[in-house]
Structure 1
Amino acid sequence: MILPDGYSDIPAGKIAAVVTHLEMTAPPARRDDPPGAWTLRKADAPALHWYRDLFRRVGEDWLWFSRPRMNDAELAAIIHAPGVEVYALVADGRDEGLLELDFREAGQCELVYFGVTAGLIGTGAARFLMNRALELAWSRELHRVWVHTCTFDHPSAVEFYQRSGFRPFRRQIQIADDPRLDGTAPRMAAKHVPIIE
C-alpha cells in the first residue's frame, strides 16, 4: 500500500515511526577509538533474563518493544540461533551496551540491535561499540552490512550511522500497538513520543 501525500491518521493506542534502512557494501575507512576504558564481551548462549535486562536498559527510552513482547521460547530461538551473536559493551565492570549481529543470511550481516545505556550517550562509547561491530562483521566474507533505525531512536542515530559508513536505501512507516499501554514498557518511557489513548 502506498500512503498518499499529506497526513494519514494513526488510530488511538497505536504508535507510528519512520524507519530508515541503511547499508554498506564494503568495509568503511577505519575510525579511531575515542578515549575510554570500555571493552567488548561476547555473550555465548546469553541468559534470557540478562538479555532482557540489558535490552530494557538500552532501548526502553527509545521504545524498543519487539523483544519484550516475545515469550522465552521465541526469544531463545533468535538469540541462541547459529549465526546470531550477542555482545555487551562493558564499562566499569557493568554491561552497558548491546550489540546483536545476525549472520544467518549468506554474505550479509544485520546489525539487529545496537546501543548504549543513557549514561554513556555522548561519551564515545557508541563509537567504540560501532568500531567493534564493523570489525566483527567485516571479518567475515560479506558483501553487505545493514541496519535500520527509526524516529523513536536517538535524534542523531541516522547521522551516526552515516558517519560510520552506512548509506540510507529505504524508508518505511512502522505502525504498532503502543507498548506503554499493554505493560510491555513503562508509561513513563520515551517521553518524546506522546501517548494517545
Structure 2
Amino acid sequence: MPRIPVTTWSLEQASPTDVLPATAPEGDVRIVRSEVPSPAFSRFLYSSVGGDILWIDRLGWTYDQWEKHLARPGVETWVAYDQGTPAGYVELEPQDDGVVEIVYFGLIPAFRGRRIGGHLLAYGAARAWDLADRWPGLARTKRLWLHTCSLDGEHAMDNYLRRGFKLFDTKVEEEAEVAAPGPWPGAYPG
C-alpha cells in the first residue's frame, strides 16, 4: 500500500481570554449541546463531517464503544444547526489535570464556506473553558488543545489560528494512503 507524508500540527490555548470570536453566520444558525448521548447520532456526525477528509479512526467502533465513550464525564458534543439541519460539530474531551481536547471539529461538506466553522469553533472553545461549570467534580480547564493535519480541510489551520490557538508542535509521518470512505458506502461517485 502506498504511503504519503502527513503533517500534524498541535495547537493550544492557555486561557479563556485566548478565544477570539468569529462573525456569526447569516441566517438561522444555532449551536446546541447534544445532551443525550447517542451513538447513532455521534457516528452520523463523525462520518458525515469526516468522510471526505479521511476520518477513519472511529469507523470500526461498535455501538458499545460509542456508548462508553459518550458516557464519560465531561465528553460533550456541540452541534451547529442551519435551519434545523445538522451542519457540523465540535467534540470536547476532558483529560487529566484540567486539560481539555477538542477531539473532533468540522462541518458537513455542504455547509463549508458559509462562515459557520469559525463561529462553531469559537463557541466550542468557550464551552471547553467552562466545561467544569456543567460537570461537578471535573477540574477547571487550564489548557485547551487540538490537532489538525494536512489531510484536513484547506481552511482548518487558518480557522484555528484566527480563533486564538497557538502552534506548539509539528510532526511529519508517513501514513498509508487510503481512499476517502465517505459518510456511507457509495456516497461518492467513482
Q: Which amino acid is the alignment partner of residue 124 of structure 1? A: R
Q: Which amino acid is the alignment partner of residue 162 of structure 1? A: L
- Unaligned ranges ≥5, structure 2: 133-139
> Which residue number corresponds to residue 114 of structure 1?
105
> Which residue number corresponds to residue 24 of structure 2?
34
Does residue 1:18 correspond to 2:7, yes or no?
Answer: yes
2:52 aligns with one of 42, 45, 61: 61
Deviation at 1:116? Answer: 0.9
Deviation at 1:147? Answer: 0.5
8 A contact 1:59–1:115 mirrored in 2: yes
Q: How far, CA to CA, are the matches of 2:180 and 2:129 in structure 1?
A: 40
Q: How far, CA to CA, are the matches of 2:86 and 2:52 in structure 1?
A: 17
Q: Give the structure with the larger helix fraction.
A: 2
Deviation at 1:30? Answer: 3.8
8 A contact 1:16–1:173 mirrored in 2: yes
Aligned to 1:63, the other structure's residue is in SS state coil
1:125 aligns with one of 116, 128, 131: 116
TM-score (normalizing by structure 2): 0.81
Q: How does 1:95-174 map to 2 (within 5 A)?
A: 95-139=86-130, 140=132, 141-174=140-173
- When residues 160 and 83 of structure 1 are mapped into structure 2, their CA distance, relative to the original with a 3 A threshold, is same
Aligned residues: 179
> Which residue number corresponds to residue 46 of structure 1?
37
2:71 aligns with one of 75, 80, 83: 80
8 A contact 2:45–2:88 mirrored in 1: yes
- When residues 25 and 47 of structure 1 are mapped into structure 2, their CA distance, relative to the original with a 3 A threshold, is same
Percent identical residues:
26
Q: How far, CA to CA, are the matches of 2:32 and 2:38 in structure 1?
A: 14
Which one has a bigger Cα radius of gyration? 1
Aligned to 1:61, the other structure's residue is in SS state coil
8 A contact 1:100–1:111 mirrored in 2: yes
- Unaligned ranges ≥5, structure 1: 1-11, 192-197
